[in-house]
Amino acid sequence: MHSVLLTRNAFIDTSVFKREHFDFSSRKLKSLHKIIDDGHGKIYITNIVQNEVEKKIREDTNKALDILTGNKIRILKNLSGEPFIKFFQTIDAGDCTQNISSQLIDQFHSFLRQYKVEIIATDSVSIPNIFADYFAKAPPFGEGSKAKEFPDAFSFAALSDWCKKNGERMYVISSDNDLAKACEKSENLFHLESIPKFIDLLVREDEDEKTTSFIEDLFSKTNITLVERIRSDIEGSVYVLGDRIGTVNNISIEGIEILNTALLDVQDDIALVEVETGVHFEAETTYKSTDEIPAGIRAAWFEDIHQTIRQEDTVFSQVIIRFDQQMSGTFQIEKVIVNDLEPITIWVDTP
């Protein structure tokens, strides 16, 4: 990872939006919004990324509604109460898919406006150069040179051309390894794994070095206390089964380690830090013995299966700490926000 800020420009790849489940109001994005509003950073996408995000939203909406209209979930129609009735009335409506997709795409367009995202066109990219890279298996093409890499190749070329034309440099925020490899061969484009990494670089550049160094040192010295607090909050989170009708009855954490930290914001004596942890779960679960529940048949008629599931996962938490630089090492963990307050998913089968 880069330790010094190289540019205030950042391109966000489709893979980042997918990883965030197209949540355009997450806490990490709100931290980025403040930086954009203050004029300390600039966000870019390409027209290809815009089309990919909108297409993926429609596809994921269809998949979600297929599950909700399938036999596995219809048992929930038997639940009483206005929220459930209205929910299934909406799902059963003929134009439901289009309405939901439109609402989610509107959220994306709102994000583009609020974050002042500039869209870089790809229509002037050299097609012969793209095919030359394809046949040479040059990044973002790799072994196999699959056609699915063409959108990334066009976006990458457009970003490179834009940087050369404007005398600028740019971070490429992506979880795609092929794009990361392409950045290694570029003079103007530099890979980052996540939005918090970009925010961290900006905050460290703009804040007083003494303060950011103090916070970093504080985290290294209080590692055990921090890990135990995060462990406690993760254990107290809500858990759901991702691939069965059932419940997670009990959770224990067999192991936890801090993988990465990113400084998202500093305000006087308050700091917001994202902590990435690797967690080993042990979950006691109960779920129905059949994958298919015929319509009109109550799930309670099927045998329960009790299973202990062991799962390794990455969990992100935002930690708010209050510190006092005058009293060296004095700090208080004000709040820990696990998984953006969303349930943590346990899988019976590996997804």
Each residue's pLDDT tens digit, 130-156: 888 888 888 888 766 566 789 999 999
Q: What is the dihedral of CA 330, 199, 237, 250, to 10 degrees?
A: -100
Share of the chain above pLDDT 90, in %: 51
- What is the CA angle 223-283-319, rounded to 5? 30
Beta strands 9-12 and 344-346, pairing class: unpaired
CA atoms of 69 and 287, how far apart (whole Å): 20
How far apart are the C-alpha atoms of 291 and 266, rounded to whole Å?
49
**63-90 b/e with 16+ CB inside 10 Å = b?**
eeeeebeeebebbeeeeeeeeeeeebee
- Residues 71-104 pLDDT 10s: 555 555 555 555 555 656 665 555 566 778 888 9
User: Which domains does the chain show, CATH number per domain?
Assistant: 9-200 (3.40.50.1010), 208-346 (no CATH)
Distances (CA, A) of 155 to 4, 50, 147, 167, 173: 25, 11, 14, 18, 13
8 secondary structure, DSSP code: S
pLDDT in tens, 189-216: 999 999 999 999 999 998 888 888 888 8
Helices (H), the chain: 14-19, 27-37, 47-68, 71-74, 82-92, 96-114, 127-136, 150-166, 177-184, 195-206, 209-221, 223-235
Contacts of 221 (CB under 8 A, 6+ apart): 329
Q: What is the pTM of this model?
A: 0.82
pLDDT by 10s per residue, the chain, length 351: 557 899 999 999 999 999 888 999 887 888 899 899 989 999 999 999 999 999 999 998 887 777 665 555 555 555 555 555 565 666 555 556 677 888 899 999 999 999 999 999 999 999 998 888 888 888 888 766 566 789 999 999 999 999 999 999 999 999 999 999 999 999 999 999 999 999 999 999 988 888 888 888 777 777 778 899 999 999 999 999 887 778 999 999 999 999 999 999 988 889 999 999 999 999 999 987 655 555 555 554 457 889 999 999 999 999 998 888 776 667 788 999 999 888 999 988 865
Q: Quote the CA–CA distance of 247 and 346 in Å, as a whole number.
A: 10
